Amino acid sequence: MAFRFNFAVDDSDDDPAPNAPPAPAPQALPGELRAPARYHTLQELMARIPRNISYATISITPTVSIPRRELYDVRMQLMDEDELNGDGSERSMMAGLGKEDIRTSLYEGGLKSWECSVDLVRHLASLDERIGPGGKKVLELGCGTSFPSLFLFQTTLSAKKGFKPPLTHFTLADYNLEVLRLITLPNIFLSWAMLNHPSSSSGPWETEGDLDVTESLIAAFLTDLSSRGIVLDFISGEWGAGMTELLKPASPYDLALGSETIYSPSTTPLFTDVLLEALRGGEGSGLVAAKQVYFGVGGSVTDFVNLARSKDPNAQIRVVREEKEAGVGRSIVKISNKLGQP
């Protein structure tokens, strides 16, 4: 089933469709295929990174700017690849380039940038303590364009220049592998290129334009991450026991992030399970940014908080930020496990 939210952050080439009446919550149909969780290395995804990336830079605060791959560039790549791929994965991604925000079991919204991801970046930027120093492990569930992780990645790069820091590990998870390779990884590469741009010889970094992804630039990117002790890995597929199993061999995450991930009552319990398991046994925290109510879809911040408390009565849960602009309010919920229970 497909539906549209009508509250994405402005994407330069989105179809400006008028607001539609709320759609019913998507439900999996009998016999629908789901995507099992799968682990992917940086090297695996880098092997298919586009050789040219068209981008625009989004200004989130006066001091935070994040370059993002343009959707028209994704559309062109998908059109070029469509005839070469027979499994339908590229064609399913085309749903996200039109009027559909979700196509249940095929595409889960990862091509768009959502309001709450911007809220989460602003919250992270406002914290007194540094969230992104070495030694931290960060997990973003439903990453898509990955604004929160990109901010932390930029902070990490800026904080570590000139010496080898302790390991910093970013795990980015999205339902669609194609989102990870078409959007998430190119955006990471763009953030790295922006901070490592040789402005003295070729002028300042342009706020929009095209980046040529040469073999030498790829090599410099991989070498730089290795020298700084930064690890990037990826997980595609649905939330649930399969994803939890992939995350279990690692130590608990210091920070787990989610934006616009609790809109559906049918998947929120699975998201909550993965989030709590990623933090279990450690002293990290989770930050979940969401609309206070998803009218016509069914999810809400109150329902999520009650669900998380029922699943882990020892967790400390509170709202740490609220946005009360015109329309539906938005919140950021913090979940911490200071008891470090097994």
In eight-state DSSP terms, residue 293 is B
Domains of the chain are 38-50+111-205+212-337 (3.40.50.150)
Q: Is 120 helix (H, G, I), strand (E, B) or coil?
A: helix
pTM for the full model?
A: 0.84
**Residue pair 35/174 in contact by the 8 Å Cβ criterion:** no
How would residue 38 be classed by pLDDT, with cut points 50, 70 and 90?
very high
> What is the maximum alpha-carbon separation in the chain?
59
Find the helix or strand (DSSP H, E) in which 279 lies: helix 268-279
pLDDT at 32: 43
In eight-state DSSP terms, residue 17 is P
Cβ of 56: how many Cβ atoms within 10 Å? 18
Whether the per-residue pLDDT at 149 is higher than 60: the answer is: yes
Which residue is listed with tokens 């020892």? 314
Whether the per-residue pLDDT at 2 is higher than 70: the answer is: no
Whether the per-residue pLDDT at 10 is higher than 80: the answer is: no
Whether the per-residue pLDDT at 22 is higher than 70: the answer is: no
Whether the per-residue pLDDT at 228 is higher than 80: the answer is: yes
How would residue 100 be classed by pLDDT, with cut points 50, 70 and 90?
low
CA distances from 136 to 147, 171, 231, 255, 339 (A): 18, 11, 11, 8, 19
